[in-house]
Amino acid sequence: MINYQDICEEVIEIAKSAGSFIRQEREAFSANKIEFKGKNDLVSYVDKAAESQIIEALKPLIAEAGFIAEENKEIHISDTYNWIVDPLDGTTNFIHGIPAYAVSIALKHLNEIVVGVVYEIGKDECFYGWKDSSAYLNGKIIHVSDNKKVADTLLATGFPYYDFTRKDTYMALFEDLIQNCHGLRRIGAASVDLVYTACGRFDGYFEYNLKPWDIAAGMFIVERAGGEVFDFKGGKDMLEDCDIIATNGYISKELLETVKKYFAKHYTI
C-alpha cells in the first residue's frame, strides 16, 4: 500500500529542487528566451527544463503512474495513478520579474487527488497535504479564514488571457464584487491564489478557463485546510470544466449565487 505522507515528503523535496533551479535561472533570464504557445500564452526553456527535472524525479516514486503535464504532451496517462504537474505556474510573472510564481504537483488516484504540493518560489513557502491530512505551510498547520459574509472578505481572481468569449460576463461579475467586498486581487498564478485561500490570506478565489495543472494541487490543499472547492455550476467538475470557485466554506453559498447570477447563461444549471 502506498503511504501518501511519505510520497508527499518526497514531492516536497522535488518541488523545492525545481524551485531552486527556477530561482537561479531568473537571475540571468533574458526576454529573447520567450516562446509563444498562443496569444498571451508564454513559455520559456525554464518551464521545459523544470518539468523534465520534475518528471524524472517523480517517475521512481510510483512505477505505474502516468503524467498530465503542461509542457510535455507525449507522456502516457495511466488508469490508476497520474501526476499532474505545472513546473512554473505564473510564467508571465517569472518572465517579467514579478516574484509570484510556483511549482505545482498533485497526485491523482483514479478520480481523487491524494497528494498536493505548491512551492511558491519567491517567498520560499511550501504548501502541502496528503489524503486525510491537515494542510501545511512550511511544517505548520494552516486553516481557511472564518469570515462569514462576502462583504467582509478579500477575494482573488484571474483575468482571461486568451479565451475572451465570456469576458463581458466576467467583467460584470468583477464590477459587482469590487463594490461588495474588501477588494479583489489578481496575482497571476492560480496555484498561489488557491494556497493563499487555504491559509486565510484570501477568503475566496474564482477563475474560469484554467487547466488541470493550474488548480489540482491548490484546490486539494484548500480542502485539506477546511475550505470548499466547486465549479461555476456548484458541482465538482473543476478538473474537467476548469472553472473554479474556492472558499473558506462560510461564503460558499453567497459567492456561488453571485457567480451564477452572471454565468448561468453560459451553462445548463
Average the pLDDT over 62-72 and give the result. 88
Q: What is the mean pLDDT of the chain?
A: 92
Whole-number percent of the chain with pLDDT over 70: 92
Lowest mean pLDDT among 72-81, 119-128, 211-220: 72-81
Lowest mean pLDDT among 74-83, 119-128, 153-162, 260-269: 260-269
Query: Does 124 carry a binding-site annotation?
Result: no
Where does the pLDDT of residue 195 fall: very low under 50, low under 70, confident under 90, or very high at 90 and above?
Answer: very high
Query: Does 58 carry a binding-site annotation?
Result: no
Query: Tell me, what's the pLDDT at 233?
Result: 94
Where does the pLDDT of residue 40 fall: very low under 50, low under 70, confident under 90, or very high at 90 and above?
Answer: very low
Query: Does 255 carry a binding-site annotation?
Result: no
Query: Tell me, what's the pLDDT at 33?
Result: 60
Residues 90-106: tens digit of each pLDDT: 998 998 899 999 999 99
On the question of pLDDT at 51 being above 60, the answer is yes
Average the pLDDT over 79-88 and give the result. 96
Three-class SS of the chain:
CCCHHHHHHHHHHHHHHHHHHHHHHHHCCCHHHEEEEECCEEEEHHHHHHHHHHHHHHCCCCCCCEEEECCCCCCCCCCCEEEEEEEEECHHHHHHCCCCCEEEEEEEECCEEEEEEEEECCCCEEEEEECCCCEEECCEEECCCCCCCHHHCEEEECCCCCCCCCHHHHHHHHHHHHCCCCEEECCCCHHHHHHHHHCCCCCEEEECCCCHHHHHHHHHHHHHCCCEEECCCCCCCHHHHCCEEEECCCCHHHHHHHHHHHHHHHCCC
CATH of 150-266, one of 3.30.365.10, 3.30.479.30, 3.40.190.80, 3.40.50.300: 3.40.190.80
On the question of pLDDT at 265 being above 80, the answer is yes
Residues 203-251: tens digit of each pLDDT: 999 999 999 999 999 999 999 999 999 999 999 999 998 899 999 999 9
Query: Does 214 carry a binding-site annotation?
Result: yes
Query: Does 89 carry a binding-site annotation?
Result: yes
| Residue in 101, 136, 116, 98 with CA at minimum distance from that of residue 212 | 116
Where does the pLDDT of residue 164 fall: very low under 50, low under 70, confident under 90, or very high at 90 and above?
Answer: confident
- CATH 3.40.190.80 placement within the chain: 150-266
Query: Tell me, what's the pLDDT at 81?
Result: 97
- CATH 3.30.540.10 placement within the chain: 4-142
Assign domain 4-142 to its CATH superfamily. Answer: Fructose-1,6-Bisphosphatase, subunit A, domain 1 (3.30.540.10)
pTM above 0.85, yes or no: yes
Average the pLDDT over 161-181 and give the result. 92
Query: Tell me, what's the pLDDT at 38?
Result: 45
Residues 131-163: tens digit of each pLDDT: 999 999 999 999 999 999 999 999 999 998 777
Where does the pLDDT of residue 267 fall: very low under 50, low under 70, confident under 90, or very high at 90 and above?
Answer: confident
